[in-house]
Amino acid sequence: MKVISYNVNGIRSALTKGFADWLKVENPDVICLQEIKVARADFDPTPFTDLGYHTNIFPAEKKGYSGVAIFSKQKPDTVTEGTGNAKYDFEGRNIRIDLGDLSIMSAYFPSGTTGDERQAVKMEYLDFMYDYLHTLQKSRSKLLVAGDYNICHREIDIHNPKDNADTSGFKPEERAWMEKYFNSGFIDTFRYFNTQPHEYSWWSFRANARNNNKGWRIDYIAATQNLKQNLIASRMLQQVKHSDHCPVVCELKL
């Protein structure tokens, strides 16, 4: 099974840049999308159903903002929109599908870059998700949590750690949460296979950051420990450019 996570920064925008053609060639079994930025009424599933995907989206209530989706070749047994927390469900931050005994979530963690108020929301979301995911594991023990976490875990995951030491996305308290998370039964699938530096999944549109590879690794596919023996490979597709992010891939043998 090939699973991809991709913050597309607007699914309609990505389609104008060849997203559907790329998806046809890449042909994942499951693709988890973040920042789809489209309302249900404005979403046309045809480009994806034509490729054999079952499409499930969970938009934000606010138009042109946030929103997540999962497209899968196999029809899900169950689709769960949101987490039951109205504050975050209003912003369209989580959707989960169940395929047999495997569950896959697409998650878009809040950004705190617009100020203290949103940073506080981000930290509250982190605490909520930690508890939510560990509770979910009691009934859905095999779980992939794919998405834009909006946090660089360690210094290797950001191009300039010293200058960004107190920047949202690399704050000590955010990094501490990631450390706790990956020590609590979840595997960072990319780092499980790849230990080299300068591997990033997001680049600012400013200052030619992508061409200079001045990036951040903020997109992850986390797997529960009981899937460790199923992991085959993980990589980032940095040459794919429909967005300011690139896709993250995880392959499993099930």
Q: Per residue of the chain (254 residues), what is the pLDDT tens digit?
A: 999 999 999 999 999 999 999 999 999 999 999 999 999 999 999 999 999 999 999 999 999 999 999 999 999 999 999 999 999 999 999 999 999 999 999 999 999 988 899 999 999 999 999 999 999 999 999 999 999 999 999 999 999 999 999 999 999 999 999 999 999 999 999 999 999 999 999 999 999 999 999 999 999 999 999 999 999 999 999 999 999 999 999 999 99
Each domain of the chain, given as residue ranges in start order, spans: 2-252
**For residues 40 and 63, is the Cβ–Cβ distance under 8 A?**
no
Of the candidates 148, 157, 188, 219, the residue annotated as catalytic is 148
- Residue entry with tokens 């530096």: 197
Q: Is 101 a catalytic residue?
A: no
* Residue 172 to residue 177: CA distance in whole angstroms: 9
pTM: 0.97
**For residues 60 and 39, is the Cβ–Cβ distance under 8 A?**
no
Using only C-alpha atoms, what is the Rg of the chain? 17
- Residue entry with tokens 């080299």: 196
* Residue 124 to residue 174: CA distance in whole angstroms: 11
* Residue 50 to residue 35: CA distance in whole angstroms: 22
* Residue 139 to residue 128: CA distance in whole angstroms: 18
What beta strand segments (E) does the chain contain? Answer: 2-7, 30-34, 54-58, 68-72, 78-81, 94-99, 102-108, 142-148, 186-188, 202-203, 215-216, 219-224, 231-236, 248-252
What confidence score (pLDDT) does residue 113 get? 86
CA distances from 59 to 46, 71, 81, 91 (A): 17, 14, 9, 7
Give me the architecture of the 2-252 domain, per CATH.
4-Layer Sandwich (3.60)
